[in-house]
Amino acid sequence: MTDVTDALLGAAAEAARPWAELPDEKRAAALDAVADTLDAAADELVPLAREESRLPEGRLRGELVRTTFQLRSFAAQVREGFEVISDEPDPDWPTGPRPALRRVLLPLGPVVVFAASNFPFAFSVAGGDTASALAAGCPVVVKAHPGHPKLSDATAELVRKALTSAGAPEGTFALFHGEADGRDAVLDPRTKAVAFTGSLRGGRALFDLAVSRPEPIPFYGELGSVNPVFVTRSAAEARAGEIATGYVDSFTLGTGQFCTKPGLLLVPSGSRILELATEHARAKGAAALLNDRITDGYTAGLETLRGHGSVRVLVEGVLGEDGPTPTLLATTAADLLADPDTLATECFGPASLVVTYDDDEQLLAVARSLEGQLTGTVHGEESDDVARPLLAELAQRVGRVLWNGWPTGVSVTAAMHHGGPYPATTSPLHTSVGITASARFLRPVAFQNVPAHLSPR
């Protein structure tokens, strides 16, 4: 670990108790101050993001609004207060006299956040992981993503200054660069939790480090998902055009660089959806991927899918100066069930696989074969016999179940769950979007017979 990162972790450890003990109103005001500062710097930050991410200005400005909304939402949560459960003394309690108990939630301590590439604001330096950990009372040390280093530095400086001006202790927030320092930070005993958004391979390697420590720590990783969409026969007959258009628009949104992109579409054999989706995909133009590294990964992943013996190409994408045009592939449910490890694999970019099925039993068999996913979607009719069992199967395997919608677009709201069973995430009990994301960084402590004014919260 470099001396700089070592010093940042040391400062975060020193700031842990003062930041945790800061009055709720002051901590909330500090989060609001960060939001206000970022909003005011939009004309400085958006051009940097545009330069480094190749994303359009409108998308980036909208994402910055999402980022500051998240910060203000967590500020409101801090003001409302985290869960406290109290039991009054009861000498006649059936299991024996009950003492006075007060269960509160306390911050874990310094959190290392690994920034994501595909959302340079909302899942990066000042994104949801950072906001939720700060709201919980934990100092944050962010490992910058190499895809947007200048934006990361600029954002971090604004965040740090805003927090300091609002009264946060020195060391409450910091940023560092470098993969080696990232690995070392996971192993450092001063780190008490890690939040990560990225690839399955990279996330799993860091997760293994986190749990290999003498003191294992929570590792909250979002690692990948193919987000399957199941279309019942009656829905395909009733809304073929609408479903085909929505599907193509969804898997090409953001050039297919959303973790919630539908990578599989299950449709009945003989459905017109294949033909209509093919027409719509061919009409889509090229769009740039985030950076050369992602372009190389997309090209390699697509080549593996396209080269599979059971896969046929419906639309052949072309990689040009402006980026790739969409690629649409097709296979059968029988072939998918024969090799799910290859065919049901995330391909990060504007490509997706249409899977034709013969009957409802085959549709359910595909659902049962799936690994953990962030989302699972059903396009159906309420009268479909297969709807209830299909929804039940998906609920066992995904973090968010959709009905007649598309998974791209994750609302920042209290009831949202952005997570799912492994390998979608390493912790299916928690979300990385919405105000309950702070629960990842809080630990319950019960105070027995301790006067309320003497307990930390």
Query: Which of 52, 63, 259, 393 is the catalytic position?
Result: 259
Q: Which of 222, 346, 347, 393 is catalytic?
A: 222
The pair phi, psi for residue 210, each rounded to 5°, is -60, -40
Give the Å distances, CA to CA, from 385 to 47, 95, 289, 334, 362.
52, 48, 41, 22, 14
Structure tokens at 269: 């054999």
Pure H helices in 258-372: 273-282, 292-306, 333-338, 340-343, 360-369
DSSP state of 169: P
User: Which residues make beta-bridge pairs with 266?
Assistant: 230, 355
- Rounded to the nearest 5 degrees, what angle is found at the Cα of 361, between the Cα atoms of 355 and 367? 55
User: What is the per-residue DSSP string for 197-250?
Assistant: ES-HHHHHHHHHHHHHSSS---EEEE------EEE-HHHHHHHHHHHHHHHHHH
Active-site residue, 170 included: no
Instruction: Retrieve residue 198's tokens.
Output: 């990225």
Question: Which residues neighbour 377 within 8 Å (Cβ) at sequence distance 6 or greater?
Answer: 227, 228, 229, 230, 262, 401, 402, 403, 405, 406, 407
Please calculate the CA angle 49-123-118 and round it to the nearest 5 degrees.
Answer: 55
Please say if 316 is a catalytic residue: no
Task: Tell me which residues are annotated as active site.
Answer: 222, 259
